[in-house]
A = this chain, B = another copy of it.
Amino acid sequence: MDESNKYQFELAFKVRDYECDLQGVVNNSVYQNYLEHTRHEFLNAVGLNFAGLFNQGIVAVVARADIQYKYPLKSGDEFVCRLNVEKEGIKYLFHQSIYRLPDEKLCIKAIITTVTTKDGKLRVFKELDNAFLNVK
């Protein structure tokens, strides 16, 4: 079964040459930029804002990033980054994947675990729950 049809949010990108390293493919760390940007655009899409939350003292923190590299992206490749979020205790688990376009080749499969803090302490914010978990 192809899971790529079920997701709460997706964002399209195109590889930029400066993101490629001397192996001629996107550098491993750059995928985390793609994943982060997709999460932040997802926040925007559900009415929240990363920089805005930060200015209110609400800090969304990545506690763990578990990224499987399935297939490398190259100069000029177009791709989508897809996202689902679920709650587990006080954590949000973002299930994120990157598919090359137009052939839907799976490139990245990741689970990014985040927590939210205020004044340095772990806290749960109802507005995030509402925003995240009611999206279909």
Contact = CB atoms under 8 A, between A and B. Distances in A.
A67 B65 contact: yes
How many copies of this chain are found per oligomer?
Answer: 4
Given A30-B29, A76-B44, A37 B63 contact: no
Nearest to A51: B75
15 contacts: A16-B36, A17-B51, A18-B29, A18-B33, A18-B36, A18-B37, A22-B51, A22-B54, A28-B65, A61-B69, A63-B68, A64-B66, A64-B69, A65-B65, A65-B66
A21 B23 contact: no
Q: How large is the interface on A (under 10, 10 to 19, 20 to 34, 35 or more residues)?
A: 35 or more
A75 B16 contact: no
